[in-house]
Protein backbone atom coordinates (compact mmCIF):
# COMPACT_ATOMS: atom_id res chain seq x y z
CA UNK A 1 0.00 0.00 0.00
CA UNK A 2 2.73 2.42 1.06
CA UNK A 3 5.00 1.29 -1.74
CA UNK A 4 2.29 2.01 -4.29
CA UNK A 5 2.45 5.64 -3.28
CA UNK A 6 6.15 5.77 -4.04
CA UNK A 7 7.65 6.15 -7.50
CA UNK A 8 6.78 3.24 -9.75
CA UNK A 9 10.35 1.90 -9.90
CA UNK A 10 10.56 2.00 -6.13
CA UNK A 11 7.24 0.22 -5.81
CA UNK A 12 8.37 -2.52 -8.20
CA UNK A 13 11.59 -3.07 -6.28
CA UNK A 14 9.81 -3.19 -2.96
CA UNK A 15 7.38 -5.77 -4.26
CA UNK A 16 10.08 -7.94 -5.81
CA UNK A 17 12.46 -7.70 -2.87
CA UNK A 18 9.90 -8.59 -0.24
CA UNK A 19 10.39 -12.28 -0.95
CA UNK A 20 14.20 -11.95 -1.10
CA UNK A 21 16.47 -14.05 1.06
CA UNK A 22 17.91 -12.32 4.11
CA UNK A 23 21.44 -11.23 3.28
CA UNK A 24 22.47 -9.30 6.40
CA UNK A 25 20.93 -9.73 9.81
CA UNK A 26 22.01 -8.38 13.16
CA UNK A 27 20.66 -10.01 16.27
CA UNK A 28 20.64 -7.71 19.31
CA UNK A 29 23.91 -5.98 18.49
CA UNK A 30 25.36 -3.82 21.22
CA UNK A 31 28.67 -1.96 20.96
CA UNK A 32 30.17 -0.16 23.93
CA UNK A 33 33.16 2.15 23.97
CA UNK A 34 34.06 2.28 27.67
CA UNK A 35 30.93 3.57 29.35
CA UNK A 36 29.35 4.82 26.14
CA UNK A 37 26.77 2.59 24.45
CA UNK A 38 27.19 3.50 20.78
CA UNK A 39 24.83 0.78 19.48
CA UNK A 40 22.21 -0.57 21.83
CA UNK A 41 20.49 -3.90 21.22
CA UNK A 42 19.83 -3.35 17.52
CA UNK A 43 18.18 -5.84 15.14
CA UNK A 44 18.24 -5.05 11.45
CA UNK A 45 17.69 -7.12 8.35
CA UNK A 46 18.62 -6.45 4.73
CA UNK A 47 17.09 -8.71 2.10
CA UNK A 48 18.37 -9.68 -1.30
CA UNK A 49 17.73 -7.00 -3.90
CA UNK A 50 16.77 -4.25 -1.49
CA UNK A 51 18.06 -0.72 -1.09
CA UNK A 52 17.91 -0.09 2.64
CA UNK A 53 18.64 3.29 4.22
CA UNK A 54 20.07 3.93 7.69
CA UNK A 55 19.39 7.36 9.16
CA UNK A 56 19.78 9.10 12.49
CA UNK A 57 21.19 12.29 13.99
CA UNK A 58 24.94 12.74 14.46
CA UNK A 59 26.36 10.23 16.91
CA UNK A 60 23.33 7.93 16.61
CA UNK A 61 25.54 4.87 16.03
CA UNK A 62 25.15 4.40 12.27
CA UNK A 63 28.85 4.06 11.41
CA UNK A 64 29.43 1.86 14.44
CA UNK A 65 26.65 -0.47 13.30
CA UNK A 66 28.17 -0.57 9.79
CA UNK A 67 31.57 -1.36 11.32
CA UNK A 68 30.09 -4.26 13.28
CA UNK A 69 28.46 -5.63 10.11
CA UNK A 70 31.64 -5.39 8.03
CA UNK A 71 33.84 -6.90 10.75
CA UNK A 72 35.97 -3.82 11.35
CA UNK A 73 34.60 -3.75 14.91
CA UNK A 74 33.54 -6.64 17.11
CA UNK A 75 30.21 -6.10 18.81
CA UNK A 76 30.22 -6.21 22.62
CA UNK A 77 27.09 -8.35 22.48
CA UNK A 78 24.90 -9.88 19.81
CA UNK A 79 25.53 -11.55 16.48
CA UNK A 80 25.88 -10.66 12.82
CA UNK A 81 24.68 -13.07 10.15
CA UNK A 82 25.59 -12.95 6.49
CA UNK A 83 23.42 -15.17 4.30
CA UNK A 84 22.49 -17.19 7.37
CA UNK A 85 26.06 -17.74 8.56
CA UNK A 86 27.24 -16.33 11.86
CA UNK A 87 30.08 -13.97 10.86
CA UNK A 88 30.30 -12.10 14.17
CA UNK A 89 33.91 -12.99 14.80
CA UNK A 90 35.08 -13.03 11.23
CA UNK A 91 37.83 -10.57 10.28
CA UNK A 92 36.89 -7.85 7.84
CA UNK A 93 38.82 -9.29 4.86
CA UNK A 94 37.07 -12.66 5.21
CA UNK A 95 33.61 -11.03 5.18
CA UNK A 96 34.71 -8.86 2.23
CA UNK A 97 35.67 -12.01 0.30
CA UNK A 98 32.06 -13.15 0.62
CA UNK A 99 31.08 -10.11 -1.47
CA UNK A 100 30.34 -7.48 1.14
CA UNK A 101 32.00 -4.27 -0.03
CA UNK A 102 32.14 -1.06 1.98
CA UNK A 103 32.45 2.49 0.69
CA UNK A 104 33.43 5.31 3.03
CA UNK A 105 32.21 8.82 3.77
CA UNK A 106 35.56 10.28 2.73
CA UNK A 107 36.76 8.90 -0.55
CA UNK A 108 39.60 6.41 -0.53
CA UNK A 109 40.92 6.69 -4.05
CA UNK A 110 44.66 6.42 -4.64
CA UNK A 111 45.39 10.03 -5.49
CA UNK A 112 48.83 9.44 -7.09
CA UNK A 113 47.51 6.75 -9.42
CA UNK A 114 45.58 7.31 -12.62
CA UNK A 115 41.84 6.80 -12.69
CA UNK A 116 42.24 3.68 -14.81
CA UNK A 117 44.85 2.19 -12.45
CA UNK A 118 42.57 2.89 -9.48
CA UNK A 119 39.95 0.77 -11.22
CA UNK A 120 42.39 -2.01 -12.09
CA UNK A 121 43.74 -2.44 -8.56
CA UNK A 122 40.14 -2.80 -7.38
CA UNK A 123 39.40 -5.82 -9.56
CA UNK A 124 38.33 -8.86 -7.61
CA UNK A 125 41.15 -11.05 -8.89
CA UNK A 126 44.00 -11.06 -6.43
CA UNK A 127 44.63 -10.09 -2.88
CA UNK A 128 47.37 -8.11 -1.18
CA UNK A 129 50.58 -7.48 -3.03
CA UNK A 130 49.62 -9.76 -5.92
CA UNK A 131 47.26 -6.99 -7.01
CA UNK A 132 50.14 -4.59 -7.44
CA UNK A 133 52.62 -6.93 -9.11
CA UNK A 134 50.44 -9.06 -11.35
CA UNK A 135 49.28 -7.39 -14.57
CA UNK A 136 45.49 -7.06 -14.70
CA UNK A 137 43.66 -9.55 -16.86
CA UNK A 138 42.06 -8.49 -20.11
CA UNK A 139 38.68 -9.14 -18.49
CA UNK A 140 39.52 -6.64 -15.74
CA UNK A 141 40.63 -4.09 -18.33
CA UNK A 142 37.43 -4.58 -20.28
CA UNK A 143 35.30 -4.23 -17.17
CA UNK A 144 37.20 -1.09 -16.10
CA UNK A 145 36.65 0.46 -19.51
CA UNK A 146 32.98 -0.42 -19.54
CA UNK A 147 32.43 1.04 -16.06
CA UNK A 148 34.44 4.21 -16.72
CA UNK A 149 32.51 4.80 -19.92
CA UNK A 150 29.25 4.28 -18.06
CA UNK A 151 30.30 6.72 -15.32
CA UNK A 152 31.46 9.31 -17.85
CA UNK A 153 35.09 9.06 -16.68
CA UNK A 154 36.72 7.17 -19.54
CA UNK A 155 37.98 10.39 -21.16
CA UNK A 156 39.80 11.19 -17.91
CA UNK A 157 41.32 7.73 -17.43
CA UNK A 158 44.96 8.88 -17.51
CA UNK A 159 44.43 11.70 -15.01
CA UNK A 160 45.73 11.25 -11.48
CA UNK A 161 42.75 10.61 -9.23
CA UNK A 162 43.91 13.32 -6.82
CA UNK A 163 43.21 15.91 -9.51
CA UNK A 164 39.54 15.04 -9.85
CA UNK A 165 36.75 17.02 -8.17
CA UNK A 166 35.31 15.52 -4.98
CA UNK A 167 32.15 14.45 -6.81
CA UNK A 168 34.18 12.76 -9.54
CA UNK A 169 36.25 10.98 -6.90
CA UNK A 170 33.05 9.66 -5.37
CA UNK A 171 31.97 8.35 -8.76
CA UNK A 172 35.38 6.75 -9.22
CA UNK A 173 35.11 5.13 -5.81
CA UNK A 174 31.70 3.79 -6.79
CA UNK A 175 33.25 2.37 -9.96
CA UNK A 176 36.07 0.82 -7.88
CA UNK A 177 33.48 -0.80 -5.62
CA UNK A 178 31.71 -2.25 -8.67
CA UNK A 179 35.02 -3.64 -9.98
CA UNK A 180 35.03 -5.89 -6.91
CA UNK A 181 31.75 -7.36 -8.18
CA UNK A 182 29.94 -6.86 -4.86
CA UNK A 183 27.07 -8.90 -3.61
CA UNK A 184 26.20 -6.22 -1.05
CA UNK A 185 27.43 -2.65 -1.08
CA UNK A 186 27.49 -0.65 2.15
CA UNK A 187 27.69 3.05 1.36
CA UNK A 188 28.48 5.68 3.98
CA UNK A 189 26.87 8.97 2.96
CA UNK A 190 27.06 8.60 -0.82
CA UNK A 191 25.34 11.96 -1.32
CA UNK A 192 27.55 13.87 1.14
CA UNK A 193 29.41 16.76 -0.48
CA UNK A 194 27.98 16.05 -3.93
CA UNK A 195 26.57 19.00 -5.84
CA UNK A 196 22.84 18.93 -6.61
CA UNK A 197 23.28 18.31 -10.34
CA UNK A 198 25.33 15.20 -9.64
CA UNK A 199 22.88 13.85 -7.06
CA UNK A 200 20.32 12.68 -9.64
CA UNK A 201 23.08 11.05 -11.63
CA UNK A 202 24.40 9.27 -8.55
CA UNK A 203 20.93 8.06 -7.62
CA UNK A 204 20.57 6.63 -11.13
CA UNK A 205 23.87 4.77 -10.80
CA UNK A 206 22.88 3.32 -7.42
CA UNK A 207 19.54 2.17 -8.80
CA UNK A 208 21.17 0.66 -11.88
CA UNK A 209 23.65 -1.28 -9.73
CA UNK A 210 20.70 -2.56 -7.76
CA UNK A 211 18.40 -3.48 -10.62
CA UNK A 212 20.82 -4.38 -13.40
CA UNK A 213 23.75 -5.83 -11.46
CA UNK A 214 21.63 -7.25 -8.60
CA UNK A 215 23.66 -5.49 -5.92
CA UNK A 216 21.90 -5.28 -2.58
CA UNK A 217 22.52 -1.85 -1.07
CA UNK A 218 22.65 -0.67 2.54
CA UNK A 219 23.39 3.04 2.90
CA UNK A 220 23.87 5.64 5.60
CA UNK A 221 22.63 9.01 4.48
CA UNK A 222 21.99 12.42 6.03
CA UNK A 223 20.40 13.87 2.88
CA UNK A 224 16.74 13.15 3.61
CA UNK A 225 15.40 13.81 0.10
CA UNK A 226 17.98 11.43 -1.31
CA UNK A 227 17.48 8.60 1.19
CA UNK A 228 13.70 8.84 1.01
CA UNK A 229 13.75 8.62 -2.76
CA UNK A 230 16.30 5.88 -3.22
CA UNK A 231 15.41 3.47 -0.38
CA UNK A 232 12.89 0.65 -0.31
CA UNK A 233 13.00 0.59 3.48
CA UNK A 234 14.69 2.68 6.14
CA UNK A 235 15.98 2.09 9.67
CA UNK A 236 16.27 5.05 12.04
CA UNK A 237 18.69 5.10 14.98
CA UNK A 238 18.98 7.59 17.83
CA UNK A 239 21.31 7.36 20.86
CA UNK A 240 22.35 3.91 19.61
CA UNK A 241 18.83 2.51 19.64
CA UNK A 242 16.64 1.53 16.73
CA UNK A 243 13.70 3.90 17.00
CA UNK A 244 11.84 3.08 13.78
CA UNK A 245 11.87 1.06 10.60
CA UNK A 246 9.55 1.10 7.64
CA UNK A 247 8.95 2.48 4.19
CA UNK A 248 10.19 6.01 3.47
CA UNK A 249 6.65 7.25 3.89
CA UNK A 250 6.22 5.54 7.25
CA UNK A 251 9.55 6.92 8.47
CA UNK A 252 8.68 10.45 7.39
CA UNK A 253 5.51 10.28 9.44
CA UNK A 254 7.02 8.60 12.49
CA UNK A 255 6.84 10.77 15.59
CA UNK A 256 9.89 9.22 17.24
CA UNK A 257 11.99 10.02 14.14
CA UNK A 258 10.75 13.62 14.13
CA UNK A 259 11.47 13.87 17.86
CA UNK A 260 14.99 12.51 17.41
CA UNK A 261 15.80 15.03 14.69
CA UNK A 262 14.23 17.90 16.56
CA UNK A 263 16.03 16.89 19.76
CA UNK A 264 12.80 16.29 21.66
CA UNK A 265 12.97 13.64 24.38
N1 LIG B 1 36.22 4.27 18.28
C2 LIG B 1 35.43 4.93 19.12
N3 LIG B 1 35.79 5.14 20.40
C4 LIG B 1 34.98 5.80 21.25
N5 LIG B 1 33.77 6.29 20.93
C6 LIG B 1 33.36 6.12 19.67
C7 LIG B 1 34.17 5.44 18.69
N8 LIG B 1 33.48 5.41 17.51
C9 LIG B 1 32.32 6.05 17.74
N10 LIG B 1 32.24 6.47 19.02
C11 LIG B 1 31.13 7.18 19.64
O12 LIG B 1 29.98 6.36 19.45
C13 LIG B 1 28.83 7.16 19.18
C14 LIG B 1 28.24 6.74 17.83
O15 LIG B 1 29.14 7.16 16.81
P16 LIG B 1 28.91 6.85 15.28
O17 LIG B 1 30.07 7.38 14.53
O18 LIG B 1 28.60 5.40 15.12
O19 LIG B 1 27.61 7.69 14.97
P20 LIG B 1 26.99 8.10 13.56
O21 LIG B 1 25.52 7.92 13.68
O22 LIG B 1 27.67 7.37 12.47
O23 LIG B 1 27.34 9.65 13.53
P24 LIG B 1 27.59 10.65 12.29
O25 LIG B 1 26.31 10.80 11.58
O26 LIG B 1 28.00 11.91 12.96
O27 LIG B 1 28.70 10.05 11.45
C28 LIG B 1 29.29 8.60 19.23
O29 LIG B 1 29.03 9.11 20.52
C30 LIG B 1 30.80 8.50 18.97
O31 LIG B 1 31.48 9.57 19.58
Q: Is residue 176 in some structural domain?
A: no
Domain identity same for 21 and 140 = no
Q: Is residue 117 in some structural domain?
A: yes
For the chain, how many structural domains are there in total? Answer: 2
Domain identity same for 192 and 226 = yes
Q: Is residue 94 in some structural domain?
A: yes
Domain identity same for 99 and 223 = yes
Domain identity same for 123 and 157 = yes
Q: For residues 35 and 26, what is the distance between their CA atoms, to the nearest angstrom?
A: 22
Measure CA of the first residue to CA of the last residue in the chain; give whole Å.
31
Q: What's the pLDDT at 108?
A: 80
Q: For residues 244 and 238, what is the distance between their CA atoms, to the nearest angstrom?
A: 9
Render pLDDT for 128-173 as a digit per residue (tens, 0 to 9).
Answer: 555 556 677 888 999 999 999 999 999 999 999 999 998 899 999 9
Q: Note down the domain range covering 131.
A: 110-163
In this structure, the residues whose C-beta lies within 6 A of any atom of ligand 1 are 33, 36, 38, 56, 58-64
Domain identity same for 93 and 216 = yes
Domain identity same for 114 and 138 = yes
Q: Is residue 151 in some structural domain?
A: yes
Domain identity same for 75 and 21 = yes
Domain identity same for 103 and 131 = no
Residue identifier of the C-alpha nearest atom 4 of ligand 1: 33
Q: Is residue 37 in some structural domain?
A: yes
Domain identity same for 254 and 190 = yes
Q: Is residue 170 in some structural domain?
A: no
Domain identity same for 135 and 256 = no
Atom index in ligand 1 nearest the CA of residue 73 equals: 1
The overall pTM is greater than 0.80: yes
Residue identifier of the C-alpha nearest atom 1 of ligand 1: 33
Burial degree of 186 (CB within 10 A; 0-12, 13-18, 19+) = buried
Render pLDDT for 104-120 as a digit per residue (tens, 0 to 9).
Answer: 766 688 999 999 999 99
Q: What is the CATH number of the domain that holds 76?
A: 3.40.50.300
Dihedral sign of CA atoms 250, 252, 255, 257 in order: positive
Reported ipTM: the value is 0.97
Which of 61, 106, 223 has the most ligand 1 atoms within 8 A of CB, as the residue to mutate? 61
Q: How far is the CA of 141 from the centre of ligand 1 (A)?
A: 38
Domain identity same for 194 and 92 = yes
3-state secondary structure of 150: helix
Q: Is residue 212 in some structural domain?
A: yes
Q: Is residue 77 in some structural domain?
A: yes
Residue identifier of the C-alpha nearest atom 3 of ligand 1: 33
Domain identity same for 158 and 208 = no
3-state secondary structure of 255: helix
Task: Identify the weakest region by mean pLDDT among 4-18, 63-77, 171-185.
Answer: 4-18
Amino acid sequence: MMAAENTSSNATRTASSASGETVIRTDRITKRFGGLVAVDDVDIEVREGEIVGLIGPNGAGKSTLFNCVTGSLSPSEGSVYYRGRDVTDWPQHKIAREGLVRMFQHTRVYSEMTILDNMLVSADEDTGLERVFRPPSSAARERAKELLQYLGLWGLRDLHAGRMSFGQQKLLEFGMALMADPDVLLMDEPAGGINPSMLEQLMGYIRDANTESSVTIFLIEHNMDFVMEVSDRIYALAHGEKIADGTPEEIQNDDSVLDAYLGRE
